[in-house]
Amino acid sequence: MPRKTIYTLGILGTLYLLYNFYQIFLVIPVDALQGNIFRIIFVHVPAAFTAFTFYGVAVVGSIGFLLTKDFKWDSLAVSAVEVATMFTLVNLATGSIWGRVEWGIWWAWDARMTSQLMCFLLYLGYLLMRPAIAEPQQRGVMSAVLAIFAAADIPIVFMAIRLHNVRTQHPGPVLETGTLAKVYWPPFFGDYAAFLLLATAMMLVRLHQESNRREIDSLRREVHAI
Amino acid sequence: MSSVDITNLHFLFYGYSAAWLIMIGFVFLLVQRSRRIDRELRRLKSLVEEKEKEKQL
């Protein structure tokens, strides 16, 4: 992947993020109930959306690898998982800080937060498992199966605030119910778009690393053969 | 500004700082790993070249 594309995506994402921060801190009004801490929503939720988008990419990559056994799909999956896991961590950290202000506690073991933590731990397990398997084919298959299996947690995270019989401390959905005023939508979706640009740049860097790693493996075999 | 507003602002600062730190830390790790991989790739390429020259001799 050309460096130019990576730099362009990274710079565009950063500039768009800075423009959104200007909107968030200097233009849009303060929330009447929560005050300034409400502005954390513009990082907290877009980070989760970005993570789920890239977990989706990882599932596509994993299915692609299981069908074709082409390592390019495996590289796509691991690159996407790594970036998505980082954004899940951003989501968890900002959520915890927001919860400390609104609820007086850093963490509540409710359905939404616990399922999101499970998602983070499952994919962290995926990343930690990979170096432990030496044989590339076996590593690819096991990783793909785990990535698809772990993705089953994503609908649970999504539904955790939508089911009436599930107890949750977390607020309900804010977009489809109209709870989030329209004035907040541009920076909200703007941050999601900026995160997508940055995450894509990071994923391309990881893809390049994976391709170099495959080259290193083949060179090592060549050295041994000589 | 009330003490609640000040606490709100403090925690808002912590939240954004945490997000930036995690992202910048991740980028830093990516750059470090890229350098390590590139170094290893260059080393192996020159090793293969050397071995092939030795083989020809």
> What digits encode the pLDDT tens for the residues A168-224?
778 877 777 778 888 889 999 999 999 999 999 999 999 999 999 999 988 988 888
For the stretch B8-53, pLDDT in tens is 899 999 999 999 999 999 999 999 999 999 999 999 999 988 888 8
Find chain B residues with C-beta within 8 A of A36's C-beta. 5, 8-9, 12
Give the closest of A36, A90, A212 to B19, CB-based.
Answer: A90
- pTM metric for this prediction: 0.93
> Reduced to 3 states, what is the DSSP secondary structure of residue A198?
helix
Q: A84 CB contacts (<8 Å, ≥6 apart)?
A: A50, A51, A52, A53, A54, A55, A57, A58, A123, A199
Q: From A49, A55, A97, select the one nearest A80 (Cα to Cα).
A: A55
Answer yes or no: is pLDDT of A1 > 70.
Answer: no
Find chain B residues with C-beta within 8 A of A3's C-beta.
Answer: none
Three-state SS at B38: helix
Q: Select the residue of A198, A209, A219 nearest B45 (Cβ to Cβ).
A: A219
Report the pLDDT averaged over residues A140-158.
95
Give the pLDDT score at A2: 79
Q: Rounded to a whole number, what is the distance in Å from the CA of A43 to chain B's nearest CA?
A: 8
